[in-house]
Amino acid sequence: MKQLFALLILAFMINSSCKQYKLISNESEKVLVGKINRGMLNTEIYPWFKAGYDSYNSALNTDILFLKAYNQRVTFVVFGGTWCDDTRILLPKFFRVIDEAQFPASSITLFGVDRQKKTLKGEAEKNNILNVPTFIVYKDGVEIGRIVESVKKSIEVDLKTMLVKTVF
């Protein structure tokens, strides 16, 4: 009996520690917190994601073509709040640009934050996240810049500007 009880406790601890996200739900909102993925946003629960993605037109411009040349060398760690208006505007546009530049899905790590800008395992604190969305851009494993809360021109132009600075 003791062995069964110990096994159940161990299984519970493993299950608890492996959970990467949680959904905080009330009548007015459903907040994803922790490590999440794009598929979790592309649902009827978050209609803003599909609408923003579908409506953004970068017209496959030269900025996208420039980004495409780096799609195997650049990775992103992204923090957003499903409750946040700025995230609802920029995150779908970001994914549209990333898709058009043919970045692999594995190049993006996405975290949802609660209203206090916290994640489940302290990732937001470790990355000094004060505002969302925050897009942390890495080239060859080294952070080269961030887009925080808003863009200067557009997602694709701001990303290109960061990369140009590392080339010259």
Match 């970068």 to its residue by tokens: 58
The pLDDT of residue 58: 76
Q: Are 64 and 99 in contact (CB under 8 A)?
A: no
Three-state secondary structure call for residue 72: coil
54 pLDDT more than 80: yes
Across the strands, what pairs with 112?
34, 80
Residue with more model confidence, 78 or 61: 78
64 pLDDT more than 90: yes
The pLDDT of residue 19: 75
Contacts of 142 (CB under 8 A, 6+ apart): none
CATH number (3.80.10.10, 3.40.30.10, 3.50.30.30, 3.90.79.10) of 23-167 reads 3.40.30.10
The pLDDT of residue 42: 95
Contacts of 60 (CB under 8 A, 6+ apart): 100
**Every domain of the chain and the residues it spans:** 23-167
The distance in angstroms from the start CA to the end CA of the chain is 67
- What is the distance between the alpha carbons of residues 8 and 77, in angstroms, rounded to a whole number? 35
pLDDT category of residue 26 using cuts at 50, 70 and 90: confident
Phi and psi torsions of 70, nearest 5°: -110, 10
The 10s digit of each residue's pLDDT in 67-108 is 999 999 999 999 999 999 999 999 999 999 999 999 999 999
Contacts of 45 (CB under 8 A, 6+ apart): 30
The pLDDT of residue 3: 54
pLDDT category of residue 166 using cuts at 50, 70 and 90: confident
Three-state secondary structure call for residue 12: helix
- What is the distance between the alpha carbons of residues 79 and 76, in angstroms, rounded to a whole number? 10
Q: What is the mean pLDDT of the chain?
A: 89
Identify the CA nearest to 98 among candidates 68, 72, 73, 77.
68
The pLDDT of residue 112: 98
The 10s digit of each residue's pLDDT in 105-140 is 999 999 999 999 999 999 999 999 999 999 999 999
